Structure 1
Amino acid sequence: MTTVKRYNTKKLYFPERITAALGEIFDYPLAAVEAPMGYGKTTAVREYLNKSTAHVLWQMVYDNSLSNFWQAFSNLFSQVDTDCGQKLLFLGFPADSVSLQEALGIIAKTELSARTVLVIDDYHLVETTEIDRFIEFLALNRITNLHIVLIARFIGLQSREELLLKGYLYHIAQETFELTPQEIAGYYKTCGIGLKGSEADELYAVTRGWISALYLLMPEFIATGGCAPEKCIYRLIEQAVYTSLSVEMQEFLLTLCIFDSFTFEQAVHMWGKDNAGELLAELTGKNIFVKYDARTRTYYPHSIFTGFLREVLVCKALHHRHDLYQKAAHWHLKNGEYPVARRYFYECGDFDNILVALEADKAADYIFAARDTELLKSYLEECPQEVKARHHYAMLNYALHLFVHNEMTLFSELCREFIGNIHTDESLDARARESLSGEAELLLSFTAYNDLKRMSAHYRAAWELLGRSSSVCYNRTNWTFGSYSVLYLYYRESGKLEETVRDLRQSLPCYARLTNGHGSGAEYVMEAERYFNTGDFVNAEIVLHKALYHARTGMQTGIIICALFLQIRLAIVQGDSSGIAAGLQQLRTAITGGRRHLFLHTVELCEGYLYAILQQADKIPHWIAEGRVNDSCLLFPAIGAFNMVYGRVLLVRGEYLKLIGSAEYFFDTAAIFPNLLGHIYTYIYLAAANKRICKEAEALSNLRSALDIAMADKLYMPFVENCDYIKPLLKKLAESGFCREDIGKILALCASRQKTVARIVRNHCFRGAPKLTRREQEIACLAAKGMNNREIGERLFISENTVKTQLKSVFEKLGISSRVLLKQRLDSTNCNKLSEFHSPGD
């Protein structure tokens, strides 16, 4: 016989958290239960009081009539004491101090049971200061055994803050009634519906814990196992909230619903009338699904309410929507929020202004482009040719974004298109055309990227045409693309490294003139790296100080990081633990002091390389250990530098087969420009991995390939730093007569370095990458998921102040300053692995 599953969608559900909150009303003379319609506040209060031993007096408010309120109030007290009710009715509403005292005396003399609760439901309909004053007066005088509970969508008591501070008022807010995903699962289980964790999360994402919405979605969930369209929720909002608002308020909300959040200034700009402040005050004061965060000075509409309003907006005339998008776009354009401005201009088909926003965009690190390149491509594909042809500087910016994200085919096509446009644009005078031709030459230098001789020719041509700095390439863009090594970026031909260093030293001054000092110090970093890799540590350190001076003078964060990383590698050679610690600290300071958080992943790459060299796998950032380069802010030319670190990490973790399988990708990436250092390291890693799986012939062949490239330039340190894996192979090759002299030099350097590394690891004299305590990690993960301090405190049963203090510590430890960066950082560490992340003993 088939068993039919039974559901009871009428079941009530109250988490212990809500029950505990309601239990505190007996500790105060006055309680305010405040939440928008449909949060179950009335039901919760009624059910709780029905189960208590209290005597309940329940008064409903239907309008703002003073006389109706007083008659209902007096009749309630007639249930306790007929004489009391009659006296109150005869007294009339107490509108002055004398009658207030009289009313107080009448009620106080009434023999109330041990716990009497006067509930005034829908109190927001009162909207009368006289009644507010009367309720406040009763609370301040603490009538024995009487507890007053006001249930309302919003409560505007004039002395609210004073009553709270002095302990007369207990406030239960909307958040108390918002069910968490776990509680949603509990509610549905009570009704006979079993939810998986992901399903509870999905329901929470749709409803934000709004009990009425969860109830309305239940039949659809029973029928289909999924969430219903939000139409039924929207009908509820329309009937219970929207239709009761004034026409002006409805229009005001529709004007702002295109934003997920907004500021007062945005609201004034969008509304265009002088009463925006009054309307906002009414919205927040009456709890109409809009919260105000005083800390950020931002208004946050409820996501469900916003969704409903956008549905209404769709029904408006097209020109009305376009007017809103235009206003929003110009707001973001004026405030330098260019990607958002472009999105709104696109919504109303304004391609001219899309390109105006692109022209104005000086995203110093192309940080938005990783997310925005696909959007830019779609905009420009649809953009009419004649529009593109008159926005030359926008096309230059677009070309740079394409280059750094490896859209090389499209980049080359755009360069040709740009040059054609400036030659056919009759609106340009001779000087303007010459300047744009100079910009084109600078743009074309990227088509020759990492071939310094060809790039230099373009620089000279650009300077001859421009005679001034570029309007597109400037000194705050990311010269290193996130790489920790200049040598990696420009070493492209075996046997010509010294010549390449010289080429960079000769070409960079011209480029720096064109870009107001962009790349300052890079030539000295590359020279210092060459010295270091050849084992000339003295000259490496001398030139490194020169590099740091020029990079800091030019405020070139990426180059400063390259120099500091080389300093740390020198400190390892010298056995200088304190130097390593100082270098790690300076790496963090370089990005926090200059607010260049794009380089956070570059710094972590440096740390990951250090810990891999020191065989401390547990300290390697998770995103590196898991090979998740796409989760980082590294731009395409630096991906091969990531592979150089990741390959060593795979060795340290013993993932030899994975390393061998990844080698082809490593080679392909390093071959694009090309980057010979990537080839050298990959061959070394292959040799080490093949040796570990007993394929010695392949290992020796791999090592020969690495030596063939590197020894033409006497690059010893890639082998020295990996001697812990390849030393036997080096000895065997030397015994066979292959590169005997060079291998002898490598082994001598290795012998000295092994001792210093052992001493550093043994002494643990430097601080590792910052570690969070278990509590800090819990808070950080919740913050990264978008929860505010109050919500985090409620989840973890700690105060908001504790959350704030702990988050400050997290930001300091991780070298970041915003929740956006925190999300990026924790996406790259994996919040689920708490045991791997917190400090020992926490």
Structure 2
Amino acid sequence: MGKLYFSEEMSQKLSKIYSRGLVMVEAPAGYGKTTAVRWAMRDVPSEQIHWFTAVTCLQDTSLDWFIRQIGQLDQDAGAALRQLGFLNRSNVSIAADILANLEVSEPCYLIVDNFQFIGDNWPLPLLQALADRRRDELHVILISQNFGKLRAVFENTTNVYRFSSRDLLLNRKNIAEYGQQLGLNLSRQQTETIYRNTEGWAAAVSLYFEHLCQDGGGLPEFQDMDALLHEFFWGKLSREEQDMLLRVAVFDYIREEQLPEIAPGQEAALSGLLVRIPLMHHDQRERISYPHELLRHFLLRMLNTAPGDFRSQVYESAGEIYRRADNNKKAVECFFRAGNDEKLFSCELTGLLNEKFGDTSYTALAQTVLKRCPAGLLAAWPLSMLRLCVTLFAGTDFDGFAAELERAHDIIAENGDPQLMGEWHIVAAFREFPNIAGMKAHYLAAESLMTEPSRIFTPREPYMFGTPSMWYLFYRKPGWMMETAEELRDMLEVYNRLTNHHGAGAYELYLGEALSVQGKFDESDIYAHKAAMLSERWQNASVTYGAALLLGINAIYQSDMISLQKAIEYLENKALAYPFLQHTAINTQMAETVRGYLLGLMMEPDRSAEWARGPADMLNDLTFTNFMAKTNRITDLILRKEYKRAIASVEASLSLDSRLISLSTRNFMCVGLALCYLAIGLPNRAADWLDQSLTLAEQDKNYTFLACFRKYLSILFLLPSMKKKHGKAIQEIKALEIHYTKAEESRIFFMLEKYPEQMGQLTEREREVAQLVAAGLRNKEIAEKLFISEETVKSHIRSIFNKTNIDRRSRLVELLK
């Protein structure tokens, strides 16, 4: 529509943009956020306005763009910001100081649209610095559907102005005035109908008015935006125009120079059509059209109902355009939707682990493609076939992996290429996992065949699918923890020769983790640093993340917050900074796994990523990459005192495939179950699980995790059966030098403090009395058995009650039976 409407009240609010240092505009799609800001900028000279629009399919360059704009205002400030490099916790305070000292005398508006796509990449202190700057002529405007945690920036800062969805809605009076502006004299009933059907949603109101301006007549009732678009816009287009628009449905934005590729021979008609359709923004300077999210989703739904041949043609054409633009992920998605597996196989199927292609996971994509592909096509693209086999294993489709691996073997054997058969053996080693000797045998077989390094296992595919703990992966046999380290070292020597050190640092990381669980933190830190140096040299991101995690764990267990800060800085400076992993799902999951695990140990799981905070009893989406992070869901349940649900979740997890539930994981879970059963008053069940944990842990002296909760477990340590079977282990756990205070500070098991460790301070006679009480004897029977008076028995029982903070006989029976 040609005319825009803004109420007087809204106009006054928009004028705040000219005086505030930071403006945050937040509302869902269709509320007119961008339109409102553009209207507010209508009289501002174009040279003062600098606009950045984020899109999902492009790498985020918003911070680089922002720094370039600052450099235009102040060369020294821009140079200083560029010199800092990747912004993280260690240097963002310097960046904030640079912005705080910046002086801008001429009006400058820096606008970032679609901030919801890139907000996580903007450090909070940087935004805080923009909010706290003294007022001058620099105005930063952020437009987002959801600011999430960044809302904290504007909560207590006067220099920030916030627009919410409520500010952007039209009331009945606004709708009537808008209609008058367009020459429409709405009746009260018409105004009410529009308001009732749109709830003041600007995008929907404009469609109603466009319908009235063009056709007049009545106002139909609609339940959703799709129905509005179909009636007022889509249904008025010719079939040819509809087909042209469906060709752009796959794109987040459309460049003018792409039109001949999108609609060959119809580019002029398509260009004119894009200008006149609703919910499409045109950047005249950049010659780019941005479909509104509502419009794009509508067009995609229309495309999915189009004839299959046409739909495949649209996706195939888009895939070629994305491939020429080096957007590998979008090209793969389009060829998959088109059903063109040959073109999909011709893409570089690397760096895609854990990606989502619309609603389809990469694992599901691999399953579908491998099942529907004929052997001839797979034979033409053997490396792509093997990469998809790896995807199945990484996504824990173990049966599918085994079946496709056998088919791959037959295809490659017929090919007769020894290099390819060597690649097959490297992939086939996963069939033996976690049997290190079996994996090594495959690697040796591969080494006898291959003359060049593997083309499948490269830095872009992080070692062991981005799992940051080698101990979690490979420690499987009680009593063989250190022997396993030596086995792993020998296996990795062969593997690294085959893959140009793809597994560099994994042995050192495993050894560091093994020392950590024994409480040998200084030695563990040394191996963590060794692992870090090797992984950086050979770009093994999994181990780099693992080293950051291990250093953080050791720091937390020793309550060393300075070392913890250094571990986090290493995570942000090194692990997150591998350029070939930027903006990939696997990198995000590795980072959030490490961060989430550390937050779990700090008893702060609510600060971890949303995907890691999902329902604890949802176990159908587990992978090697995300499993450690998702175990923090259990911590979240415990913090919320949902002990029974935590028990159900952990016990269900223990029945999962043993390739996911390692010995280390099983031990942790046994400790958690012991604590939860104690918390709900079932000490016998708790004792059973603690017995299992101690049986597993004492063979390699893996006592760190048990020692973290020894205060709560002390009541179980006093059970005669427990002392008899695990007495030495219990003493070693009590003696372990560990200063993990977070569990006690959080008081997640505060109800267990009624069973203090003072039970160990009972005299020998009091112990005898206590055990006889637990056996069910009455005071008189105890007196006769111990040859003391009944009054003396009562005196001993009072003393026992005082020392153990137990208030009745049944509690003592429950405690010691």
Normalising by structure 1, we get a TM-score of: 0.59
**Alpha-carbon distance in 2 for matches of 1:257, 1:214:** 23
> Could you tell me how far 1:731 is from its partner in structure 2?
4.2
- Say whether 1:263 aligns with 2:255: yes
584-593 vs 671-680, greater mean Cα deviation: 584-593
Report SS of the residue matched to 1:210. Answer: helix
> Could you tell me how far 1:14 is from its partner in structure 2?
7.0
> Could you tell me how far 1:449 is from its partner in structure 2?
1.8
Distance 1:622 1:262, change over 3 A: closer
Distance 1:263 1:363, change over 3 A: farther
Partner of 2:429: 445
Partner of 1:753: 739
Which digits, 9 at most, give the CA deviation of each residue in 1:202-237, with x for residues without a partner? Answer: x96995953346879985536x79964754223665
Given candidates 388, 398, 416, the residue that maps to 1:408 is 398
Given candidates 685, 690, 693, the residue that maps to 2:680 is 693
Distance 1:464 1:314, change over 3 A: closer
Partner of 2:231: 232
Partner of 1:397: 387
Given candidates 723, 735, 744, the residue that maps to 2:710 is 723
Q: 1:233-382, aligned counterparts within 5 Å?
A: 233-234=232-233, 237-238=236-237, 256=248, 259-270=251-262, 290-293=280-283, 298-301=288-291, 325-345=315-335, 350-357=340-347, 360-363=348-351, 365-368=353-356, 371-382=361-372
Given candidates 622, 629, 638, the residue that maps to 1:651 is 638
- Say whether 1:518 aligns with 2:502: yes
**Alpha-carbon distance in 2 for matches of 1:312, 1:743:** 66
Report SS of the residue matched to 2:563. Answer: helix
Partner of 1:479: 463
Partner of 1:539: 523
Question: Could you tell me whether the CA contact under 8 Å between 1:491 and 1:675 is conserved in 2?
Answer: yes
Q: 1:73-152, aligned counterparts within 5 Å?
A: none
Question: Amino acid of the residue matched to residue 372 of structure 2?
Answer: E
Report SS of the residue matched to 2:699. Answer: helix
Report SS of the residue matched to 2:281. Answer: strand
255-264 vs 686-695, greater mean Cα deviation: 255-264
367-376 vs 547-556, greater mean Cα deviation: 367-376
Partner of 1:16: 7
> Could you tell me how far 1:185 is from its partner in structure 2?
8.9
Distance 1:705 1:185, change over 3 A: farther
**Alpha-carbon distance in 1 for matches of 2:279, 2:746:** 58
Question: Amino acid of the residue matched to residue 511 of structure 1?
Answer: Y
**Alpha-carbon distance in 2 for matches of 1:712, 1:476:** 38
Partner of 1:664: 651
Question: Could you tell me whether the CA contact under 8 Å between 1:207 and 1:213 is conserved in 2?
Answer: no
Higher Rg of the two aligned structures: 1
Question: Amino acid of the residue matched to residue 233 of structure 1?
Answer: F
Partner of 1:82: none
**Which runs of 5 or more residues in structure 1 are unaligned?**
1-12, 25-38, 41-175, 762-842
> Could you tell me how far 1:543 is from its partner in structure 2?
1.9
Fraction of identical pairs, as percent? 21
> Could you tell me how far 1:698 is from its partner in structure 2?
1.0
Report SS of the residue matched to 1:636. Answer: coil
Report SS of the residue matched to 2:289. Answer: strand
- Say whether 1:211 aligns with 2:208: yes
Distance 1:331 1:760, change over 3 A: same
**Alpha-carbon distance in 1 for matches of 2:455, 2:469:** 27
**Alpha-carbon distance in 1 for matches of 2:631, 2:14:** 61
Report SS of the residue matched to 1:465. Answer: coil
Given candidates 461, 484, 490, the residue that maps to 2:474 is 490
**Alpha-carbon distance in 2 for matches of 1:643, 1:308:** 34
> Could you tell me how far 1:689 is from its partner in structure 2?
0.7
Question: Amino acid of the residue matched to residue 406 of structure 1?
Answer: T
Normalising by structure 2, we get a TM-score of: 0.61
> Could you tell me how far 1:565 is from its partner in structure 2?
1.8
> Could you tell me how far 1:285 is from its partner in structure 2?
7.4
**Alpha-carbon distance in 1 for matches of 2:343, 2:651:** 44
Partner of 1:796: none
Question: Could you tell me whether the CA contact under 8 Å between 1:687 and 1:698 is conserved in 2?
Answer: yes
RMSD: 4.7
> Could you tell me how far 1:406 is from its partner in structure 2?
1.4
Question: Could you tell me whether the CA contact under 8 Å between 2:605 and 2:635 is conserved in 1?
Answer: no
521-530 vs 644-653, greater mean Cα deviation: 644-653
Distance 1:287 1:620, change over 3 A: closer
Given candidates 383, 388, 391, the residue that maps to 2:378 is 388
Question: Could you tell me whether the CA contact under 8 Å between 1:734 and 1:740 is conserved in 2?
Answer: no
Partner of 2:74: none
Partner of 1:565: 549
Partner of 1:707: 694
**Alpha-carbon distance in 2 for matches of 1:580, 1:549:** 18
Distance 1:195 1:725, change over 3 A: farther
**Alpha-carbon distance in 2 for matches of 1:307, 1:696:** 55
Distance 1:232 1:520, change over 3 A: same
Question: Amino acid of the residue matched to residue 7 of structure 2?
Answer: E
Question: Could you tell me whether the CA contact under 8 Å between 1:522 and 1:547 is conserved in 2?
Answer: yes
Partner of 1:90: none
Distance 1:496 1:322, change over 3 A: closer
> Could you tell me how far 1:695 is from its partner in structure 2?
0.8
Question: Amino acid of the residue matched to residue 361 of structure 1?
Answer: L
